[in-house]
Amino acid sequence: MGKVSLEGIEFHAYHGVFSEEKILGNRFTVDIHVETDFKKAMLEDDLKETVDYGRLYKIAQAHMKEPVKLLEHLAHLMIQDILKTYPALKHISITIKKHNPALGGVVNYSVVTVQYPQDYV
């Protein structure tokens, strides 16, 4: 088993519960980690034998364009699409950071991490 990751993917998006978040949007950072068996990819130098992180990026990008209220739900939707694309994956972790959440004080990020299968059991 090995890990394929994308870290620090940045988007401007409109996720949140408050009306201001839906109008102004915010900066978000997404980290995606998946565990897969990529032994054949190592030996054969074949992208089809591993997880294409370009596809992972496109999944995250598509979901960041569709506003939702909760980051937990957003991460869940990403995991579901990753599993549709790569059903053999045994572990997926999505971390989403909302930069400078409007909480009335200085906060760098609000952060949610959802993991498959742990959070699905």
Give one DSSP letter per residue of 26-73, joined into a string.
EEEEEEEEEEE--HHHHHH--GGGS--HHHHHHHHHHHHTS--S-HHH
Per-residue model confidence (pLDDT) at position 34: 98
pTM more than 0.85:
yes
- Give the domain ranges of the chain: 2-120
CATH class of 2-120: alpha beta
Tell which residue, 16, 32, 28, 17, has the closest CA to residue 98: 28
**Cα distances (Å, whole numbers) of residue 5 to 99, 103, 104:** 21, 30, 33
Tens of pLDDT, residues 36-81? 999 999 999 999 999 999 999 999 999 999 999 999 999 999 999 9
Per-residue model confidence (pLDDT) at position 103: 86
Q: Provide, rounded to the nearest whole percent, the portion of the chain with pLDDT above 90.
A: 89
Per-residue model confidence (pLDDT) at position 18: 87
User: Which residues are tagged catalytic?
Assistant: 98
Residues 3 and 63: their CA atoms lie apart, in Å, by: 22
Q: Do residues 96 and 70 make contact, with C-beta atoms less than 8 angstroms apart? A: no
Per-residue model confidence (pLDDT) at position 73: 98
